[in-house]
Structure 1
Amino acid sequence: MAELQHIETSMDGNVIPLSNEAANQLSGSWPDRSYEIVRRLELHVYKVTKPKAQALIYPGGGYLKLMHDKEGVEVALWLNSLSIDAYVVTHRLPGSQAEEGLHPKDVALTDSLSCLDYLHKNSPHLSLFHVGLSSGGHLAGVMACQNHPLAAKGAIIAYAPVNANHRDYKSPEGKPDYPPVEKQAFYDDWPIGIAAIPHGMPNIPLFLAYALHDQSVPVDHVLNLIRSARQAKREVDAHIFGTAPHGFALRDKSGTHASWASLAEQWIERHL
Structure 2
Amino acid sequence: MNYKKKFKLSLLGSILVTFMINAQDAIIPLWPNDKIPNSIVSDEKEEVISEDIVRIAKVQQPTIEVYLPAKKNATAEAMLIFPGGGYGILAYDWEGTDIAKFLNGKGIAGIVVKYRLPSSVSQTEKHNVPLIDAQRAIRLVRSKASEFHINPTKIGIIGFSAGGHLASTLGTHFDEKVYEPVDEIDTLTARPDFMALGYPVITFGNSTHSGSKKNLLGENPSSEMVEHFSNEKQVTEKTPPTFIIHATDDMGVPVENSLLFFQALKDKGVSATMHIYPEGGHGFSLARENVHLRGWTERMFEWIESLR
TM-score, length of structure 2 as denominator length: 0.73
Distance in 2 separating the partners of 1:60 and 1:24:
17
Contact 1:92 1:108 in 2 (8 A): yes
**1:155 aligned partner:** 195
Distance in 1 separating the partners of 2:21 and 2:217:
33
| Deviation of 1:191 (Å) | 1.3
Partner AA of 1:27 in structure 2 = I
Residue 224 of structure 1 aligns to a residue whose secondary structure is helix
Contact 1:193 1:202 in 2 (8 A): no
Distance in 2 separating the partners of 1:59 and 1:33:
11
Correspondences of 1:228-247 after superposition (within 5 Å): 228-247=264-283
Q: Are 2:62 and 1:38 aligned?
A: no
Unpaired stretches in structure 1, ≥5 consecutive residues: 1-7
Distance in 2 separating the partners of 1:217 and 1:236:
20
* Residues 177 and 36 of structure 1, relative CA distance in 2, 3 Å threshold: closer
Residue 80 of structure 1, aligned match among 104, 115, 121:
104
Unpaired stretches in structure 2, ≥5 consecutive residues: 1-19, 35-43, 176-187
Residues 186-244 of structure 1, C-alpha deviations (whole Å, 9 max, x = no match) = 764321223xx456x76211100001011111111111112222222221101000011
Residue 91 of structure 2 aligns to a residue whose secondary structure is coil
Correspondences of 1:94-105 after superposition (within 5 Å): 94-98=118-122, 104-105=126-127
Residue 120 of structure 1, aligned match among 115, 136, 142:
142
* Residues 16 and 103 of structure 1, relative CA distance in 2, 3 Å threshold: farther
**1:226 aligned partner:** 262
Which of structures 1 and 2 has the bigger CA Rg? Answer: 2
Distance in 1 separating the partners of 2:49 and 2:142:
31
Distance in 2 separating the partners of 1:246 and 1:62:
12
Partner AA of 2:90 in structure 1 = L
Distance in 2 separating the partners of 1:122 and 1:181:
30
**1:3 aligned partner:** none
| Deviation of 1:85 (Å) | 1.2
Partner AA of 1:84 in structure 2 = I
Q: Alignment RMSD, CA only?
A: 3.0
| Deviation of 1:161 (Å) | 1.1
Contact 2:86 2:211 in 1 (8 A): no
Distance in 2 separating the partners of 1:84 and 1:162:
26
Contact 1:153 1:271 in 2 (8 A): no
What fraction of aligned residue pairs are identical, expressed as a percent?
23
Partner AA of 1:117 in structure 2 = R
* Residues 154 and 80 of structure 1, relative CA distance in 2, 3 Å threshold: same
Size of the aligned set, in residue pairs, is: 255
| Deviation of 1:268 (Å) | 1.1
Contact 2:136 2:190 in 1 (8 A): no
**2:157 aligned partner:** 130
**2:170 aligned partner:** 143
| Deviation of 1:18 (Å) | 2.2
* Residues 183 and 239 of structure 1, relative CA distance in 2, 3 Å threshold: farther
Partner AA of 1:224 in structure 2 = L
Contact 1:13 1:46 in 2 (8 A): no
